[in-house]
Amino acid sequence: MSFWDPGWRLVIGTLVVLAGVVAVAIYEGLYNIAADVPHTQPVYWLLETARERSVAVRARDIVVPNDLDDANRISKGRIFGDVQWRHLAPGMERTEISGGLYPRAPELRRGTDLTPAEQFWIIKHGVKQTGMPAWGVTHDDELLWDVVAFVRKLPELTAEQYETMVKTAPKHEELMREMEPRAGSHHGDHSHE
Amino acid sequence: MRNLRLRNTLFRLLFLAGFAGVPLTLALGHEGHHVKCNGTTINAVKADIQAMGEGEAKTLATNELQAARDMMAKNDTEGCKSHIHSAMEATEK
């Protein structure tokens, strides 16, 4: 079949026209990116599936520490205190931030289908266009595994238990100081990935 | 003596003003639970539903939201509000 056969010309012509239509639609700003207007279901499905697969593929070789149930780890894992406004701690009503984010931030008190490795990857690298930051830029892996341990414990906690944990958890500054000596050992970044 | 009477009167007035403010405070506090029947609210509930895991609660919320849309199209504001409220409750499950 030659390149100049009518069949090929039809396929290529259709693709060129489609690309042109998409380019015009983008340039004219036809797609509404406002956070208070949800995606259509097909677009939402497409983006969600792309995100889930991207995380699953990149997290599959991460080695999970076997001490995620350790009380000390869990306590240290509450390092990002302001996260509760987006992800909601046990006993919290929806907040102005959690209700205005799109896509909605997962409510961690409800539990998750993600594996610990997938949670670690998301916390470390963040997720584009969601408001989820890459905590790995400023925190080492040990501390991020503490966060995974804490996040996995959250659904089991009552509001009272959560409050007690908040009061007794180490302060952010203390944990950052603990992290400094580890920074030179190169233990953090590649040990679990 | 006159000062004492003036002070008592002022305290009484403050006391009454405090009581008069209670219903207003309660009304404002309760405002958060009211739902409005408009596109913004419907979109917000739709975003909540999209974030839900598959299951009975999601199906219920989706059906309630569709019912709210139908009511809004028929200009039945109260019916619309009622279904939005039910949809919101389902998203909380």
- What pLDDT digit, counting tens, does each position of B22-80 carry? 444 444 433 444 789 999 999 999 999 999 988 999 999 999 999 999 999 999 999 99
Nearest to A73 by CA among A148, A135, A138: A148
Query: How close does chain A come to B44, measured CA to CA in Å?
Result: 7
**If you measure CA to CA, which chain A residue comes closest to B54?**
A113
Segment 41-60 of chain B within 8 Å of chain A by CB: 43-44, 46-48, 50-51, 53
Any B CB within 8 A of A39 CB: yes
Residue with tokens 């919320």: B61
The answer to whether the CB atoms of B50 and A37 lie below 8 A apart is no
Reported confidence tier of residue A12, pLDDT bands at 50, 70, 90: very high
Q: Are B65 and B87 within 8 A, CB to CB?
A: yes
Q: Are A90 and A33 within 8 A, CB to CB?
A: no
The answer to whether the CB atoms of A103 and B46 lie below 8 A apart is no
Question: What DSSP character marks residue B43?
Answer: H
pTM, 2 dp: 0.74
Segment 46-105 of chain A within 8 Å of chain B by CB: 99, 102-104
Calculate the alpha carbon distances from A165 to A66, A106, A170, A178, A183 in Å: 22, 21, 10, 19, 27
Query: How close does chain B come to A83, measured CA to CA in Å?
Result: 18
Q: Which backbone phi and psi does B74 adopt, to 5 degrees?
A: -90, 10
Average pLDDT over residues A66-95: 84
Query: How close does chain A come to B41, measured CA to CA in Å?
Result: 9
A193: Cβ–Cβ under 8 A, 6 or more apart, which residues?
A: A61, A62, A63, A141
Q: How far apart are CA B19 and CA B12, in angstroms?
A: 11
